[in-house]
Structure 1
Amino acid sequence: MAHRLAAVPGVVGVMLGGSRARGEHRPGSDWDLGVYYRGDLDLGALRALAGPGVEVAAPGDWGPWVNGGAWLRAEGNAVDWILRDLDRVRQVWDRCREGRYEVGTQAGHPLGFWSPCYAGEVALGRVLADPTGELSGLRRETADYPEPLRDALTAAAWEAEFLVEGAAKGAARADGLYVSLCLSRAVGVLVQALFAADRRWCLNEKGALAVAGTLPGAPAGFARRVSELLGAPGSTAEELTATVAGARELVARTRAAL
């Protein structure tokens, strides 16, 4: 399938991504194929390859970052095609090497889409079809985590403290939604910082907390404590205030460890 995709006009190459590329998959895990393209992509050829009844989303149809693609089945397996504009991926990679990143709003990513994910997908993926060798070259580049990006993401952990102080104001008003959103975002910022400190690519929120808790920079019991705080934040002002106090202490310990 990867080689047939690579023959579609506009497609530069195809990578296996997700848990299967990292060797962390389960028997029923999807097969994620990153379809890297440049310029005008022949959607008609993609749709013909996908077969009848399969909707192929054009670039941008799935949002500004996830882009487009298709969900289909092949020989009983769930297969996802995920479109990636290779020029944009390279642009993001260049910015990562300068210590610059952005966090965009994207459906399916409750803590936002962190742009370094583009580079991380290449670094952690497996090249399946690469007629020009460009994907393989980019994969070699991304194998080394950029120190400027590490510095930027670990320094950005300050936001977690700022969010906790905002949550304290919401707790006094018994505003459970605001408190939960602030604390979830605070944890997400800390997780990104912990991954970066270990020079490890963080691709999305799924499973990231469990991994972050095992990293050298994480304080003892980090993942367990986060689960306790977010799992039962409370509903009254008193309960929410106590949760925020626990989060404040955890943020302080994590920042000190970083």
Structure 2
Amino acid sequence: MAARLTALPGIRAVALGGSRARGTHRPDSDWDLGLYYRGAPDVAALTALASEVQGSPAEVAVPGGWGPWVDGGAWLRVDGVPVDWILRDLDRVEAVWADCREGRFEVGVQPGHPLGFWSPAYPGEVALGRMIADPQKELTALQGEVRNYPEPLRTALTDAAWEAEFSVAAARKSAPGGDRLHVSLCLSRAFGILAQSLHAHHRTWCLNEKGAAAAAAALPDTPERYTERIDEALRGLDEEAVELAAELVRDVRSACGG
């Protein structure tokens, strides 16, 4: 499938991503294929191939069809197995990588990412992916670069933990009034930021919110009972929970040298 994809106009490389690339998948996990393109991919040709491999009509979302960061692609079932095609603009990925090397990143609003899409996920996907088809070796060359975590990005993401403290302070104002929605959003945001900071501190790519807390807990020097304390705070969503979250933020910032 990857070989046929790279034969289509615009598709420069195909990489296996997600849990299957990292070896953390379950038997029922999807197969995530990153389709790296330049220019405008031929959506009609992609749709025709998707329909052929699926054995039934398929729909391919055009670039931007799934939002500003996830881009587009298709959700397919091939021989009963879920296979996701995920479009990635290689020029944009390279531009984000250039920003990361300078310590710059964005957090964009994106459906499916309740804590926002953190732009370093683009180079992170390349770093953790497995090349399947890369005729021009463009993505392979980029992978060689992104496996060296940039020190300016490490500093920027660990410093971003200040916002976790700010979010907990906002929750502290809402907890006495019983505004559980606002408290839950503030604490969830804080915990998502902590996961990014802990990963960056150890020069490890954090791609999204799914599994981020457990992955952060497995890193060296992460505060004790990290995930348990997160769970307790999110179950409580009261003044006591906010103070528990504040303590965890302080412990993480201390672990990251901040």
Q: Tell me the TM-score normalised to structure 2 length.
A: 0.96
- 1:94 matched to 2:98: yes
> Does structure 2 conserve the Cα–Cα contact (< 8 Å) formed by 1:8 and 1:45?
yes
Select which of 138, 151, 155 maps to 1:134: 138
How far did residue 194 of structure 1 move? 0.3
Residue identity matched to 1:88: R
The aligned counterpart of 1:29 is 29
- 1:106 matched to 2:110: yes
Determine helix, strand or coil for the equivalent of 2:219.
Answer: coil
Residue identity matched to 2:59: E
The aligned counterpart of 2:242 is 244
Determine helix, strand or coil for the equivalent of 1:12.
Answer: strand
Residue identity matched to 2:61: A
> Does structure 2 conserve the Cα–Cα contact (< 8 Å) formed by 1:18 and 1:32?
yes
- 1:71 matched to 2:71: no
Tell me the alpha carbon deviations over residues 95-148 of structure 1, each in whole angstroms, 9 at most, x when there is no partner.
011100000000010100000000000000001111111010001111111111
The aligned counterpart of 2:128 is 124
Select which of 246, 251, 254 maps to 2:252: 254
Residue identity matched to 1:257: A
Distance (Å, rounded) in 1 between the aligned partners of 2:208 and 2:191:
13
Residue identity matched to 1:46: L
> Does structure 1 conserve the Cα–Cα contact (< 8 Å) formed by 2:121 and 2:207?
yes
How far did residue 223 of structure 1 move? 1.2
Select which of 49, 60, 64 maps to 2:64: 60
Q: How does 1:1-258 map to 2 (within 5 A)?
A: 1-51=1-51, 52-233=56-237, 240-258=238-256
How far did residue 40 of structure 1 move? 1.9
Residue identity matched to 2:142: L
How far did residue 22 of structure 1 move? 0.6
How far did residue 153 of structure 1 move? 0.3
Question: Percent identical across equivalent pairs?
Answer: 62
Distance (Å, rounded) in 1 between the aligned partners of 2:66 and 2:16:
20
Determine helix, strand or coil for the equivalent of 2:113.
Answer: coil
Determine helix, strand or coil for the equivalent of 2:193.
Answer: helix
How far did residue 76 of structure 1 move? 2.0
> Does structure 2 conserve the Cα–Cα contact (< 8 Å) formed by 1:198 and 1:217?
no
Instruction: Provide structure 1 residue ranges, at least 5 long, that are not aligned to the other structure.
Output: 234-239
Which has the higher mean CA deviation after the structures are superposed, 92-101 or 247-256?
Answer: 247-256
Number of aligned residues: 252
How far did residue 156 of structure 1 move? 0.8
Tell me the alpha carbon deviations over residues 67-90 of structure 1, each in whole angstroms, 9 at most, x when there is no partner.
000011112211000000000000
Q: Which segments of structure 1 move beyond 6 Å, counting only runs of 4 or more?
A: none
RMSD, aligned CA: 0.8
Determine helix, strand or coil for the equivalent of 1:57.
Answer: coil
> Does structure 2 conserve the Cα–Cα contact (< 8 Å) formed by 1:197 and 1:217?
no
Instruction: Provide structure 2 residue ranges, at least 5 long, that are not aligned to the other structure.
Output: none
> Does structure 2 conserve the Cα–Cα contact (< 8 Å) formed by 1:92 and 1:101?
yes
Distance (Å, rounded) in 2 between the aligned partners of 1:241 and 1:224:
18
How far did residue 217 of structure 1 move? 3.5
How far did residue 249 of structure 1 move? 1.2
Determine helix, strand or coil for the equivalent of 2:115.
Answer: coil
